[in-house]
Chain A
């Protein structure tokens, strides 16, 4: 059987055209424009070389600041989503009542639009919102504040909302990993008198390592690319304390600095693409081993 004839390359054409025209071409076009001063003020697009990139990476600029903010946002969401997702997965892996309903509930936020979650929590975390009501109710009224409008709490609040949205997703991914661990490992070690902690350290964690790696990598990428939720919650403020890269990309765009906006987009693309190829390599390496 002639593989080339039966599995005709023609089948690849619609997919490749659509994907190339609307994903790869914009990336290449953006790469080109990132070396220009393309903006809404002048009709002429002038080549400026590496100027945009030099500005992005010059210490102290608000561009460099957004890279740092994105780093902290990503790091903290990765840690909390992963750790809390793991805790939930461990809890719901064991036989407890109504676990299917619980899984459904925890995963629910992941199906909602991040923009809408942002709007919802903008109200909940407002000075007179539900969250502060709750704090007053349990006697912690002195903690109540405008969580999203104070520079010292805004980033933490945004991180928390993002975690609220994604912990269920982490739980589902890690549950799938837990279910693939053979039960006899636990049975055998129980007979040998292993403690819960011993089992966790010597069976669960090592067996779960591949799932944990994937979840961590994907959380990292989601973190770097975040936009909707931050945009709706704070719009990058107060000041610029929550201004992650993608929010800045939009701000530069709305101020008419298109060249700069594409350059920031390219930085974002480069960082995520390196991570993507890294995952691809480690994964296919694992498959062959």
Chain B
């Protein structure tokens, strides 16, 4: 018995040692963000001589981070909401009415879960639609990119909502729209949270879309600002670290708050396929 306990303790120790491989780079990042420029010449685990919180203020100003933050919030929130509403409606019909054409549509959407977007051609499409360099373009694109995954998790979940509910509503004379938004959509809440968190994260972390489609720095989301800042001040690791910390903090908070949903969404998404 005692030997067994010692073995369990050993395993825990090994697990935390491995976890350190994940945590150490992130600690180095946070520590570096408080250092002076010469101290931060290389990232290391040495403690800063003095914690310079002023680095953050300086980074916010020089990186134009306030604007970038609101750009990210705007793009991520609206694209996630738009994508979710479109996906939930579509998935509901796809799950309930399995006609041959709907099966084809499902496969058609499924393709987007896997295949990459052709960004250079997207530029051409954006030019024709007048969406180049606009918030609207970015929002619509991130919404579209989030659709396949959301449709996929919604379709799986709708099956668990009893059909009798639809029938009862229809017998009572509700229109399809009232039936869906009044009765079904609220019942899909767990998936809605999952889809929202994942699509929000996807849009927040999306680097390729702004790289190809936004030339104007005024519209840049945070990740793009980090990249730009890194390119211009590549030897100021204290500033770069501060910028990185600030751009990941919102996602980190969202992850910690919604961890259950993120993980369940990921697994239900892939395991049931």
- On A, residues with C-beta under 8 Å from B are 1, 3-12, 14-16, 18-19, 21-27, 29-30, 33, 88, 91-92, 94-99, 102-109, 111-116, 119-121, 123-124, 126, 128-130, 133, 164, 168-169, 172-173, 175-177, 180, 210-211, 214-215, 218, 221, 225, 227-228, 232, 246, 249-250, 253, 258, 261-262, 265-266, 268-269, 272-273, 275-277, 279-280, 283
Contact = CB atoms under 8 A, between A and B. Distances in A.
A173 B141 contact: no
A176 B267 contact: yes
B113 A114 contact: no
Given A11-B93, A107-B263, A27 B121 contact: yes
A232 B226 CA distance: 11
B207 A246 contact: no
A22 B90 CA distance: 17
Interface of B: 8, 11-12, 14-16, 18-19, 21-26, 28-29, 41-45, 82-83, 85-87, 89-90, 92-94, 96-97, 99, 102, 105, 107-122, 124-125, 129, 140-141, 143-145, 147-148, 151, 166-167, 170, 176, 179-180, 201, 204-205, 207-208, 211-212, 223, 226-227, 230, 237, 240, 244, 247-248, 251-252, 255-256, 259, 262-263, 266-267, 270-271, 273
Q: Which 4 A-B pairs have the closest CB atoms?
A: A30-B121, A15-B90, A30-B118, A276-B114
B16 A102 contact: yes
B226 A26 contact: no
A277 B107 CA distance: 8
Contacts of B44: 129-130, 133
A115 B141 contact: no
A92 B237 CA distance: 35
Contacts of B227: 115, 119, 232
Nearest to B24: A130
Contacts of A214: 270-271, 273
A172 B266 contact: yes
Nearest to B263: A172
Contacts of B97: 3-4, 7
A269 B207 contact: no
Contacts of B256: 104
A88 B247 contact: no
A265 B119 contact: yes
Nearest to B226: A116
Contacts of A266: 118
6 contacts: A16-B105, A27-B117, A27-B118, A30-B120, A105-B22, A262-B120
Most buried by B among A29, A130, A272: A130
B252 A265 contact: no
Contact of A121 (B18, B25, B93): B25
Given A33-B124, A107-B262, 6 more contacts: A19-B112, A21-B144, A91-B15, A121-B25, A177-B271, A277-B107
Given A113-B204, A123-B237, A225 B223 contact: no
